[in-house]
Each structure stands twice: as C-alpha cells, then as structure tokens.
Amino acid sequence: MEYIELKNMVFHAFHGVMEQERKVGNIFRVDLKLYIDMHNAIQTDKLEDTLNYAAVFDLVKEEIAIPSNLLEHAAGRIISKLKHNFPQLKRVKIRLAKARPPLGGEVEEVAVIMEN
C-alpha cells in the first residue's frame, strides 16, 4: 500500500507527568506514515487527489502544542485528528519521541509508536 511519510518533524512542547517538564518543555520528534490510495493523484497530478502534507504538518503542530501527561495520549490525539480531518487516510502510523527524558540517566529519547 502506498503512503506519504513525514519524518523528523521537530517541536518544542510541554508533555510529561513531572511539573518541570510542563514548565520548561522539551524537544519532541514526530514521524508519520499516512497510507492513502494514490491512484488518482498519479493520473491527474492534482493536489486535491492526494494528501496536502503542509496541512498535515499544521495539524500536528497544533495538536503537539496541547500539553498531555503521556506521549500515548498526545499520539492518540494526533491520529484521531488526522483521520477526522483527512477521511482519505486508510491508516496512520505515528512515532512520537521525547528527547532526553528525565529518567535519572543518559537516554537519547523515549518514543511511542502507534498505528491505526
């Protein structure tokens, strides 16, 4: 199945259960695989026959700005909003990662991966 991929979208946001995370924020990275039927776009070469990935980016940016305690919650919200706003999506896969999580040791990132 065909898909459009947006990789390594980077945002500063305020997700986490610790008060400090909610005050200072952190760097979050989002990767998306957006499964759609590309047959019409291949034939017509028209934006309305595919997925406008600039609009997808704007939606992710808007959703990531809403604080959540859990990455799972933020990722689930993004998937729900994408599927609601872009009914042509057959499936969405997201990877949402938090850089340098406060775990008391050196960890590059922690991530959740969901597919719906």
pLDDT tens for each residue of 10-55: 999 999 998 888 999 999 999 999 999 999 999 999 999 999 999 9
Q: Taking the model in full, what pTM does it have?
A: 0.94
CATH 3.30.1130.10 given to domain 3-115? yes
Q: What is the pLDDT of residues 1-18, one digit of tens each?
A: 899 999 999 999 999 998
Q: Which residues contact 54 (CB under 8 A, 6 or more apart)?
A: none
Confidence of residue 96 (pLDDT cuts 50, 70, 90): very high
Residue 105: phi and psi, rounded to 5, are -165, 180
- Structural domain boundaries in the chain: 3-115
Query: Would residue 23 show up in a list of annotated catalytic residues for this protein?
Result: no
Q: Which of 23, 90, 93, 98 is catalytic?
A: 98
Two tokens, residue 110:
């922690």
| CA atoms lying within 13 Å on the CB side of residue 50 | 17
What does the chain come to in residues?
Answer: 116
